[in-house]
Amino acid sequence: MVFHFTNALVRAPGRSVVNGLSTQSGPRPTFEAVAAEHAQYIKDLQVAGLTVDVLPPLEDYPDSIFVEDPALVFAGGVAILLRPGAPSRQGEVKEIAGALRQRFGRIMAIEEGFADGGDMLLTPAGMFIGLSSRTDQKGAAELANLLQQIGIPSRIVNTPPGTLHLKSDCSLIADDHVLCTSSLAASNIFDGYRKLVVPETERAAANALRLNDTILVGDRFPQTIQLLQQQGYKVSAVPTQAIGRLDAGLSCMSLRWSTLSR
């Protein structure tokens, strides 16, 4: 089951996090606000049953708090190092590689093109690889080849125009159920899946995170929380007001895997 996790790896924010990449208008968040939300995020991972390891901050890389973009991890002791599409983030790969080698027996890496973890959605049927401003065709194709080597089929898809990452607009909340924006629902990407569409005023809520039997959702999205609860899901509301100003989603702040067979 793709939602079963026992472990997570996160990185504490550095004070430079306030200078991270952002498409948001308005003032930048304070370091204190981001740090407080990140600390609560760690607690929520732990409440969901995960053991969380925290890596030290990297002041040279403001966006390094978003550890899912430079790497993918899988049950069975496999990790894949990616190549982030933003030039300022490409050095994050070598910074996280050592931590992954300590925890995973097999490390693979893409060598050409660009691919961000935020564009990758794992389902029981395989991996969706979204093409975006951060993931190009060459990187997607190389990643698809690596995934094939570890027995994971993949499908390369186009994200809607203006979407930062595929998972900015969607999250898997059950084996056949996707939480998504209206624009993604209108595409043919998730044909065959049930779709729960977030309100237009809460588009950022589409990036939720299911951990075991709990779905984390930003606490600033009450309508989406209600929709999920009406569908019978257990929801935990997580503060994301400050981190959201840095184009962040809940999935991008951790790498998650299981050490148990199911």
The reported pLDDT for the residue numbered 161 is 85
User: Is the pLDDT assigned to residue 262 strictly greater than 50?
Assistant: no
pLDDT tens column, 62-107: 999 999 999 999 999 999 999 999 999 999 999 999 999 999 999 9
User: Is the pLDDT assigned to residue 23 strictly greater than 90?
Assistant: no
Please compute the mean of the pLDDT values over residues 210-237 and round it to a whole number. 98
Please compute the mean of the pLDDT values over residues 114-122 and round it to a whole number. 97
User: Is the pLDDT assigned to residue 36 strictly greater than 80?
Assistant: yes
Q: What is the mean pLDDT of the chain?
A: 96
Please compute the mean of the pLDDT values over residues 11-34 and round it to a whole number. 93
The reported pLDDT for the residue numbered 261 is 56
More confident call, 13 vs 1: 13
Measured CA to CA, the distance from residue 139 to residue 55 in angstroms comes to 27
Q: How confident is the model at residue 138 (pLDDT cuts 50, 70, 90)?
A: very high
Give me 39's structure tokens. Answer: 């600390």
Q: How confident is the model at residue 32 (pLDDT cuts 50, 70, 90)?
A: very high
Q: How far is CA 231 from CA 88, 108, 198, in A?
A: 40, 38, 13
Which domains occur in the chain, in start order?
7-257 (3.75.10.10)
